[in-house]
Amino acid sequence: MKKLSTVLLVIIACVLAAQSQSALPPAAQKAMNSIDAEKIRATVKYLADDSLMGRGTGQKGGDMAADWIAAQFKSYGLLPAGDEGTYFQEVNFYGITTDPAQTRFAFVPKSGPEIVLKFADDFMAMDQTHAQKSEIDAPIVFVGYGINAPEYKWDDYKGVDLKGKVLLMLVNEPPSDDMSFFKGRALTYYGRWTYKYEEAARRGAVGVMLVHKTEMASYGWEVVRNSWGGESSILRDDRDPKLKSAGWIQLEAARKLAQAAGMDLNNLLRDANSPTFKPVELPVRLKETIVSRVRPFASRNVVGKVKGSDAQAQQQAIMYTAHYDHLGIHANESGDNIYNGAADNATGCGILLELARVFAAAGEKPKRSVIFAAVTAEEQGLLGSKYLGQHPPVPAQNISLDLNYDDVQPLGEPQQLVVTGAERTSVYPLVEKVAKEFSLAIQPDDHPEAGHYYRSDHFSLARVGVPAFSVNEGALFKGHDLAWGEEKQRDYVAHRYHQPSDEYRADMDFSADAKLAKFGLVLGWEAANQADLAGWQTGDEFEKARKGQ
């Protein structure tokens, strides 16, 4: 008996030892150890310099950054993975500005006087078709939340034909605390306004009016007005169908519209919360003339590759992404008007370049290939990465994982890891294992209702099915308490985020960025060697895309 238990103990000890032993090959270990915080600093210092003029998309500084990143890729010995044997993927855009003076927007009821709305005060609208002038004269249909989500057994459309119509809908998603229903309080992609426009366009609608209700949108009308009042950018070669009028209306305008239709807005809002809701056609048409200034411009993604070591698996890849663009120069602002974007996102570029350098230098490569993409136009709405997702260097089904880096604050050695969305992928057990090896505690998302997952470049890869998430730090740093880190984050958001003051400073401590680069290297290397390609959990909103459905 005693002997048997000894044998058992030995077996258990062996199994435990095998589990805790890292699968990391010596070449990877060496690559990881050569990651250098000071090289990340040098990249941030260069990209955030005033001479790069804030790296605006379609501006000279953005082009300079792209050229410089490509030169780094070349110096490391990365293979070009862009257009026609270059490191560049050309991305074409239209900048669109609605002309308030010539745009007219009116509700025309079957009986009674028409109601003319005022641009910026009552409504905002943008023509996604990049026409200089579009005319709409179409019936308005209220479609509730405008969501079709089979996995939650929710369909606001109920098969109603909406071709040529204008859809009135609510932002967000049906309220719930039940995690199995639209992930409870967390915002899923169905709640984002981008989804709503896309779904309406797929159904052949010509326009969308989102009803703005502050407590539902989680931001005021001024935010809608400010972010929609200037130029918006769209991809020229976007495969998704487009709306002639993608817009918002103020709650009070929606109330007037309901009144003109002989209906009560509160009842409509209430009915939208029922799964048996059906689209309601109002006896009111939208008559709109939308006039736009259209400015074509181009920018580039920078894409390089390290070929995998396995003859078969090298057709597949893992990917690292970071956006290099920022807000450029705001010529009409006085004083310092260069938006340097040191933290956002020269830091991510510093990490991306350091990963590229050490992967390329490694004496032995992982089985799958490794793609490095510095993307443009993140600040315009994730457009560079959207183009990358639609035109990946290898088919999206063959990309096992995308790790994205965006705004990794150089605050010293992090003790916490934020990898929101990772838990939805089959890579998660590996993420947990590697996090443990780095003594990084995985932090849950503090504000799942804000939908952060849909606001950085990894999302562009997720929507074409690639398991993807961003790697960032929490608020706890070595030698400090949590309050210190939280105060640093608050200070950044209040005083530097998307402001000219997001500049390089000599006292920045890039050990944060180096640690997360090392974490990403180990995770990526192991993912590149895993037997099976990664996927999404059953029932996840991105599972369909992964399966090519």
By the criterion CB under 5 A, which residues form the site for Zn ion? 344-345, 406-407
Closer CB to Zn ion, 344 or 540, in the complex: 344
Closer CB to Zn ion, 58 or 279, in the complex: 58
Angle between helices 347-361 and 37-47 (to 10 degrees): 130
Closer CB to Zn ion, 299 or 415, in the complex: 299
Shortest Cβ 418–Zn ion spacing (Å): 14
Q: Which two tokens stand for residue 453?
A: 């997952």
**What residue ranges in 45-143 does DSSP mark as E strands?**
79-80, 88-98, 104-109, 115-116, 123-126, 133-142
C-alpha to C-alpha distance for 481 and 484, rounded to whole angstroms: 6
Closer CB to Zn ion, 166 or 342, in the complex: 342
Please give the torsion angle defined by the CA atoms of residues 427, 431, 437 and 439, in that order, rounded to the nearest 10 degrees: -170
Closer CB to Zn ion, 212 or 386, in the complex: 386
- For 325, residues 6+ apart whose C-beta sits below 8 A from its C-beta are 55, 56, 57, 62, 65, 299, 341, 375, 376, 377, 378, 379, 380, 384
Query: Residue 250: phi, psi to the nearest 5?
Result: -65, 150
**Helix (H), strand (E) counts: the chain:** 16, 22
Closer CB to Zn ion, 287 or 455, in the complex: 455
Closer CB to Zn ion, 47 or 545, in the complex: 47
Shortest Cβ 323–Zn ion spacing (Å): 6
Q: Which two tokens stand for residue 279?
A: 């689209």
Query: Residue 461: phi, psi to the nearest 5?
Result: -80, -40
Closer CB to Zn ion, 236 or 452, in the complex: 452
Q: Which two tokens stand for residue 430?
A: 């590996």
Beta-ladder partners of 324 = none
Closer CB to Zn ion, 156 or 407, in the complex: 407
Shortest Cβ 220–Zn ion spacing (Å): 23
Shortest Cβ 301–Zn ion spacing (Å): 15
- For 412, residues 6+ apart whose C-beta sits below 8 A from its C-beta are 477, 478, 479, 480, 509, 511, 512
Shortest Cβ 196–Zn ion spacing (Å): 24
Shortest Cβ 191–Zn ion spacing (Å): 21
Whether the CB-CB separation of 474 and 408 falls below 8 Å is answered with: no
Whether the CB-CB separation of 341 and 61 falls below 8 Å is answered with: no
Q: Which residue matches tokens 């719930």?
A: 176
Shortest Cβ 498–Zn ion spacing (Å): 9
Shortest Cβ 341–Zn ion spacing (Å): 8
Query: Residue 201: phi, psi to the nearest 5?
Result: -65, -40
Nearest to 225 by CA among 137, 344, 316, 100: 100
Closer CB to Zn ion, 288 or 407, in the complex: 407
Shortest Cβ 81–Zn ion spacing (Å): 22
Shortest Cβ 344–Zn ion spacing (Å): 4
Closer CB to Zn ion, 29 or 194, in the complex: 194
C-alpha to C-alpha distance for 421 and 416, rounded to whole angstroms: 16
DSSP 494-523: HHTTTSTT----TT-BTHHHHHHHHHHHHH
> How far is the first Cα of the chain from the last one, in angstroms, to the nearest whole number?
57
The number of residues making up the chain comes to 549
Shortest Cβ 348–Zn ion spacing (Å): 7
Shortest Cβ 457–Zn ion spacing (Å): 8
C-alpha to C-alpha distance for 342 and 44, rounded to whole angstroms: 6
Whether the CB-CB separation of 128 and 242 falls below 8 Å is answered with: yes
Whether the CB-CB separation of 93 and 387 falls below 8 Å is answered with: no
Closer CB to Zn ion, 344 or 526, in the complex: 344
Shortest Cβ 455–Zn ion spacing (Å): 9
Closer CB to Zn ion, 119 or 469, in the complex: 469
